Structure 1
Amino acid sequence: MDAINDDAIARRARGLDRAFEILDFLRVHRAPMKPNEIATHIGAPRSSVYELVNVLLRNGILEYADNEKRVYLGRKLYLLGAAYEDQFDFMAECDKVLEKIATETRETAQFCMLDGNKYTVVRMREGARPFRISSDVGHRVPIPWTASGRLLVAHMSDDEIIDFIPKEDFLLPNGQWLEPAAFIREVREAQAAGEFTFNSIVDSFTHCFAVPIKDDTGRHSATICLVAPREDGIRNRAHYLAVLKEHAEALGALQLSSRRSAGNHHPRPGS
């Protein structure tokens, strides 16, 4: 009997993993798809994908996007996200901090994290410049392409970094190959300095700044970034880093306080 129960639990766990894989694929793909197309892209049996898609549709996690039976992320996910932010108001405070940074520097400010083995911009405030310098929120970018990437993997050992980052991600947008050993040297330098700046690999006209936000273990859980025109970024480097470090320290303290408050929150009966 125990073996049967264990097998059932394992099947359910695999089903949950596959359901999250479907949701994450649609999030990254950013467009509706038919279930059979999803199955092909994620390398899963069509029967199991159809079954899981139907479950997600019934629960409002997915919705039909058109008459062709393409599916996409459902509005219930928005409601879940709104409920999350009501309880964990760190992101609202993060938006305020990014607004302050953008105002003080006139440059584009970003709050960035890891998304699996990729880098992503979670929040952003554009600067006051007449032209747009920014990255799309939620777009997944190879870690070695970013200033933040040097800080976000700093808690890992050298071998863990090599295992974590896909080998192809060391091929830069300009076609050059970044030696993993050179990347790791930059990671350790960034870890020691508590900052990393460089001329953008993705955009030849910009200079990028990143400083870490630390959790209660000292790990770099996120970064605050600044994206500036190259000449202005180099000229104002000291000032921009000072602004970022001041606000990163404040956000780190706020993040820790928010987590402790959430952990100590015990709803009253009936509330």
Structure 2
Amino acid sequence: MSDTPATAPVTPKEDSVSKRARGLDRAFEILDFLRNKREPLKPNEIAAQIGAPRSSVYELVNLLLRNGILEFTGGDGRVFLGRKLYFLGAAYEDHFDFMRACDAALERIAEQTRETAQYCVLDGNKYTVARMKEGVRPFRISSDVGHSVPIPWTASGRLLVAHLSDEEITSFIPAADFQMPNGSWLDPAEFIAQVREADKTGQFTFNSTVDNFTHCFAVPMRDAQGIATATLCLVAPRDDGLKNHAFYLQCLKQAAQALSGKH
């Protein structure tokens, strides 16, 4: 007799539930893909770029269209995120007073510093700006709200992964994300050392790797367990950021302390 344990057969009901779960995962993948692309696309273009069967993408797109989650826009059968998502987001904000408090804090930071203030979080294994108040400078220094960026490119990234072990960090961040915008590579060991120092000091600042003229600041917003679940950030012209370094950090830390426990 074989010692191999028998595998219980999958029932039709279990198989149906599994297919629905995979379909839901794929639907969210489509929505995230369109969010990051920031442009309407045809279903066959979506399927090709996410590596999914065209038949399943067409089926899910039609379902999302019927429910207002996607809308036709741009002609030629192109689809993009639908207005129902706006209403869902508005309902989310109405439920959480923190967002209003966060907007007020960003407003104060921008007024105090004249620089662009941001509230930033992780989105999966990427960094994103969730809220932003632009400074009063005549030129724009900011990232688009909701745009996903590799974690090692950002000051906030050093704080947002600090609760992970060294091994968890290198497993969590895709290896390709350690390539900087200028084509150079950041040694994961150097990044982890920066993570540990940022966690110890409660701050991280550096000259931006995304462009050549800005200096970025980030301080953590921690939960009850001390984990940095979000950051408050400033993006400033490099010379001004270095000149006002201590004052900018003070403004961020005061705002983070005032918001502590509310997010």
Same fold per TM (> 0.5)?
yes
2:137 to 112, 124, 129: 129
Matched, 1:240 2:253: no
Q: Kindly provide the amino acid, as one letter, of the partner of residue 11 in structure 2.
A: A
Q: What do the CA deviations read for 1:127-181 (whole angstroms, capped 9, x no partner)?
A: 1222222112122111111100100111111111111111111111122211000
What displacement does 1:216 show?
A: 2.0
> Whole-Å Cα distance in 2 between the matches of residues 132 and 63 of structure 1?
30
| Residue 191 (structure 2) aligns with | 183
Residue from 49, 53, 56 that aligns with 1:45: 53
Identical columns (%): 69
Of 3, 21, 29, the residue aligned with 2:11 is 3
Question: How is 1:87-98 mapped onto 2 (pairs within 5 angstroms)?
Answer: 87-98=95-106
In the alignment, structure 1 residue 54 sits paired with structure 2 residue 68: no
- Paired residue for 2:180, among 172, 179, 198? 172
**Which shows bigger deviation, 182-191 or 1-10?**
1-10
Task: Give the drift of 1:201.
Answer: 1.2
In 2, Cα distance between equivalents of 1:35 and 1:45: 10
Query: How many residues matched?
Result: 255
What's the offset of the Cα at 1:2?
7.5
Q: Does structure 1 residue 85 correspond to structure 2 residue 78?
A: no
**Helix, strand or coil at the partner of 2:260:** helix
Matched to 1:249, the amino acid is Q
1:154 aligned residue (156, 162, 165): 162
> Which runs of at least 4 in structure 1 moved beyond 4 Å after TM superposition?
none
> How does the TM-score come out when normalised to structure 1?
0.91
1:254 offset after TM fit, Å? Answer: 2.0
Query: RMSD across aligned C-alpha pairs, in angstroms?
Result: 1.4
Could you tell me which amino acid in structure 1 is paired with residue 140 of structure 2? Answer: R
Separation in structure 1 between the aligned mates of residue 152 and residue 189 of structure 2, nearest angstrom: 12
Q: Is 150-159 or 230-239 further displaced after alignment?
A: 230-239
Q: Which stretch shows the higher mean deviation, 124-133 or 210-219?
A: 124-133
1:6, 1:137 → 2: CA distance?
39
After the TM superposition, which residues 14-29 of structure 1 pair with which residues of structure 2 at under 5 Å, given as runs?
Answer: 14-29=22-37
Deviation string 1:207-232 (CA, Å, 9 cap, x unpaired) is: 11100011122111110001112122
Q: Which runs of 5+ in 1 are unaligned?
A: 256-271
In the other structure, the counterpart of 2:4 is none
CA distance in structure 2 between the partners assigned to 1:150 and 1:34 by the alignment:
37
3-state SS of the aligned residue for 2:185? Answer: coil
Alpha-carbon distance between aligned partners in 2 of 1:234 and 1:48, rounded to the nearest angstrom = 52
SS of the residue corresponding to residue 210 of structure 1 reads strand
Match of 1:199 among 207, 212, 218: 207
Deviation per CA, 1:51-90: give whole Å up to 9, x if none: 1111111111111114411111111111111111111132
Between the aligned partners of 1:116 and 1:197, the Cα distance in structure 2 is: 23
Cα distance change of structure 1 residues 2 and 44 upon mapping to structure 2, 3 Å threshold: closer
> 1: CA distance between counterparts of 2:142 and 2:29?
28
Alpha-carbon spacing, 1:84–1:2, altered in 2? closer, same or farther (3 Å) = same
Cross-structure match for 1:261: none
1:226 to 228, 234, 243: 234
Return the match for 1:74 from 82, 93, 103.
82
Counterpart CA distance in 2 for 1:67 and 1:167 is 38
